[in-house]
């Protein structure tokens, strides 16, 4: 067996991203690891239900030997076996994020021997996690630039507490991930002017007034630069078609289409947060990204680090570097011989290189 890698879960932001990156790299490279101080940077440290779901899904994919996979555990041992591509169904439980679980299990399947179909039930639009549209419309097309073919569908949305959403990703793997010309050019060159802007407003089992106020906020003079109109905003409430979730929920998403593809910005409604605040946060993030002229959105950046590490290195230009991205870079350097290099670009962006 290869030497066990020690991962300190307190490094950097000390959150769950460190665990997800370690699981993905461990399965992909066949490297066992031991993690201590799991989620030490959080108010309630240790493994929660969301993180246990990631560990157990990863263990099922590769027949791993696992120790410490229990609630509130602050230490975990994970020794992967051979990866087994195929059809899997994973349940996060409650409103735990389906897209965060996919962050842990998707990277090794990108270069598996055979195709896979992964269905995850849980939250599709929950706080502190990428919404489904970001994964399907922004992340997966970037990953396809490295070789695999990917398709994602959402049969039902799911929100905080109750969850019940369902997401399926079909993976046609590549022989190897490649940091090629297509990825390199898109990852370093400015995205150029916005070609089209759209917005989605999810408002299930909620008063119509909430969606109306969010639409009005998106169309306000403050966000006129986005170029939204009545015809470019779609309200999804279950009464105008589409599946209805098990519980009430609200989310606002703004989609910018540019020459590199689509970048999605989402904000989730919460009790005590006004409709104007929810819509305003999504719109502000979209405007900041557009004004930055960075090709890689800051939350996309952390999700590209593990695939780039598996490709043997690469680089991209992003907005302000997030703690999640720094954590992924630190974990990648533990599992590979690659080291991160960070260089400012025009004082507002960062060139991230793994080599």
- What residues are labeled active site? 324
- Residue 242 to residues 38, 238, 252, Cα–Cα distance (Å): 39, 6, 17
Strands 76-79 and 349-354: unpaired
- The CB-side HSE value for 67 (13 A sphere, CA atoms) comes to 6
Tell me the residue length of the chain. Answer: 355
| Both tokens assigned to 267 | 């904000």
242 exposed, middle or buried (CB, 10 Å; 0-12, 13-18, 19+)?
middle
- Angle at CA 52, nearest 5°, toward 51 and 58? 95
56, containing H or E segment: helix 49-62
* DSSP one-letter string for 89-116: EEE--TT-BHHHHHHHHHHHHTT-SS-E
> Cβ distance 226 to 286 under 8 Å?
yes
| Both tokens assigned to 157 | 């949305």
> Cβ distance 136 to 154 under 8 Å?
yes
CA distance 269 to 159: 10
Edge-to-edge strands, sheet with 65-67? 5-8, 33-36, 76-79, 65-67
- Residue 44 to residues 71, 141, 179, 240, Cα–Cα distance (Å): 11, 35, 38, 40
| Both tokens assigned to 341 | 């290099």
CA distance 80 to 58: 9
Helix (H, G, I), strand (E, B) or coil at 194: coil
């Amino acid at each position: 067996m290869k030497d066990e890698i020690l991962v300190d879960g307190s490094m950097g932001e000390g959150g769950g991203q460190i665990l997800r990156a370690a699981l993905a790299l461990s399965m992909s490279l066949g490297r066992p690891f031991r993690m201590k101080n799991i989620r030490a940077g959080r108010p309630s440290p240790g493994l929660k239900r969301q993180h246990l779901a990631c560990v157990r899904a990863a263990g099922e994919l590769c027949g791993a030997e696992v120790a410490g996979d229990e609630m509130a555990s602050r230490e975990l041992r994970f020794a992967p076996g051979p990866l087994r591509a195929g059809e899997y169904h994973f349940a996060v439980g409650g409103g735990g994020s389906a897209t965060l679980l996919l962050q842990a299990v998707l990277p090794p399947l990108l270069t598996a021997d055979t195709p896979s179909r992964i269905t995850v039930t849980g939250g599709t639009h929950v706080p502190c996690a990428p919404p489904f549209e970001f994964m399907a419309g922004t992340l997966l097309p970037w990953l396809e630039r490295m070789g695999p073919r990917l398709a994602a569908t959402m049969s039902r949305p799911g929100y905080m507490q109750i969850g019940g959403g369902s997401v399926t990703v079909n993976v046609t793997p590549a022989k190897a991930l490649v940091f090629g010309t297509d990825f390199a050019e898109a990852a370093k060159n400015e995205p150029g002017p916005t070609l089209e802007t759209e917005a989605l407003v999810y408002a299930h089992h909620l008063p119509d007034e909430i969606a109306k106020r969010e639409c009005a906020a998106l169309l306000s003079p403050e966000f006129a630069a986005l170029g939204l109109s009545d015809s470019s905003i779609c309200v999804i409430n279950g009464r105008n078609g589409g599946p209805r979730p098990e519980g009430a929920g609200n989310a606002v998403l703004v989609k910018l289409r540019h020459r590199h593809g689509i970048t999605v910005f989402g904000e989730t409604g919460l009790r005590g947060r006004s409709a104007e605040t929810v819509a305003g946060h999504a719109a502000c993030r979209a405007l900041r990204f557009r004004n930055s002229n960075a090709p890689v959105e800051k939350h996309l950046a952390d999700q590209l680090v593990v695939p780039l590490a598996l490709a043997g290195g690469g680089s991209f230009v992003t907005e302000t570097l997030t703690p999640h991205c720094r954590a992924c870079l630190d974990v990648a350097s533990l599992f590979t011989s690659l080291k991160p290099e960070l260089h400012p670009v025009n004082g507002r962006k960062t060139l991230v290189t793994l080599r």
